[in-house]
Amino acid sequence: MDSSESNAAVWKSNEVVAQWVATVDERERARTWPRRVLAELLPFAEEEVFTFVDLGAGTGAASCAILDRYPSSTAVLADYSPQMIEEGRRALKPYQGRYRYVVIDLATGSWPPELDGGLDAVVSSLCVHHLPDDRKSALFREIFDRLRPGAWYFNYDPVKGEDVVVDDVWQRVQDRRDPEVAKRRAHRTPEESARWENHVRHISPLSPQLASLRAAGFEAIDAYWKELDHVIMGGRRPAG
């Protein structure tokens, strides 16, 4: 089973999505601040009118942070899971009229025609790490080609350490912050273990991803925020 098939088995499963939604509040508490940072990184004035694309948007948590920060903005949420899109429409009721969903499978490179170019900004949140490295690189090129000159792309995602000792430090700190995580890790069901392996198998180090952004044509590339194994990386399509 390749990456796209295994991801679909997870995110197009009614059971998996229901479980994900049931535990979303616990996860999102730790993600509130980096998503605020993601919103702040966008170079728009508070009341500026613009449209951003949220790739792999799921139920729209990243979009909500941006819509809250910029009350005149609108969102195009791109996802491929009918179950996640349906849950997202429930979660996004307070933003009615300021968003729409489009269907896209990030694993295939098949973009809807309405996202062919001239995009004001693109963000992604906790989804690109599901893709193999060659597909990550291809996705960065596709995003670059669709941004208008001077527009930005930011990606909030986990990364792998380039040294196993670093990975061990990250794990130790996370376990100290939440001892229940370590207990759950030691007692996963076979189904939970399979989902976890699908989650982590394509996580890659930061430096090659920054290199892929550079190779795609981006400038001003950086890890603009980082805490342990989670980063916000990004860059700008040159204005010239």
Mean pLDDT of the chain: 90
Please tell me the predicted confidence (pLDDT) of residue 18: 57
Check whether 3 has a pLDDT greater than 80: no
Q: Which two tokens mark 158?
A: 């986990």
State the average pLDDT over residues 96-100: 97
CATH number at residue 112: 3.40.50.150
Check whether 152 has a pLDDT greater than 80: yes
Q: Tell me, yes or no, whether 80 lies in a domain.
A: yes
Check whether 161 has a pLDDT greater than 90: yes
Check whether 16 has a pLDDT greater than 70: no
Please tell me the predicted confidence (pLDDT) of residue 23: 57
Domain tally, the chain: 1
Please tell me the predicted confidence (pLDDT) of residue 20: 47
Q: Tell me, yes or no, whether 155 lies in a domain.
A: yes
Please tell me the predicted confidence (pLDDT) of residue 25: 57
Q: Tell me, yes or no, whether 191 lies in a domain.
A: no
Please tell me the predicted confidence (pLDDT) of residue 192: 75
The helix/strand/coil state of 39 is: helix
* Strand ranges for 40-168 from DSSP E: 51-55, 74-79, 99-103, 119-125, 147-158
Using CA atoms, how far residue 228 sits from 28, 33, 67, 168, 206, in Å, is 17, 14, 27, 11, 12
Give the number of other CB atoms < 10 A from CB of residue 121.
23
Q: Tell me, yes or no, whether 180 lies in a domain.
A: no
129/63 Cα distance (integer angstroms): 18
Strand partners of residue 27: none
In 3D space, the residue among 138, 122, 152, 118 whose CA is nearest the CA of residue 221 turns out to be: 152
Of the pLDDT bands very low, low, confident and very high (cuts 50, 70, 90), residue 130 is very high
Strand partners of residue 222: 234
What tens digit of pLDDT does each residue of 23-82 get? 555 566 678 999 999 999 999 999 999 999 999 999 999 999 999 999 999 999 999 999
Of the pLDDT bands very low, low, confident and very high (cuts 50, 70, 90), residue 127 is very high
List the domain range (segments joined by +) for residue 154: 3-162+203-236
130 versus 25: the higher-pLDDT residue is 130
Please tell me the predicted confidence (pLDDT) of residue 119: 98
The amino acid that residue 6 corresponds to is S
Q: Which residues are within 8 A (CB) of 218 and not within 5 positions of it... i.e. 6 or more apart?
A: 140, 144, 153, 234, 235, 236, 237
Q: Tell me, yes or no, whether 60 lies in a domain.
A: yes
pTM reported for the whole predicted model? 0.86
Q: Which of 1-10, 103-112, 139-148, 228-237 has the weakest average pLDDT? A: 1-10
Query: What are the percentages of helix, strand and coil residues in the chain, rounded to 5?
Result: 50, 25, 25
Cβ(146)–Cβ(179) below 8 Å = no
11 versus 200: the higher-pLDDT residue is 200
Please tell me the predicted confidence (pLDDT) of residue 142: 98
Please tell me the predicted confidence (pLDDT) of residue 181: 79
What tens digit of pLDDT does each residue of 167-220 get? 999 999 999 988 887 888 888 887 777 776 777 889 999 999 999 999 999 999
Q: Tell me, yes or no, whether 114 lies in a domain.
A: yes
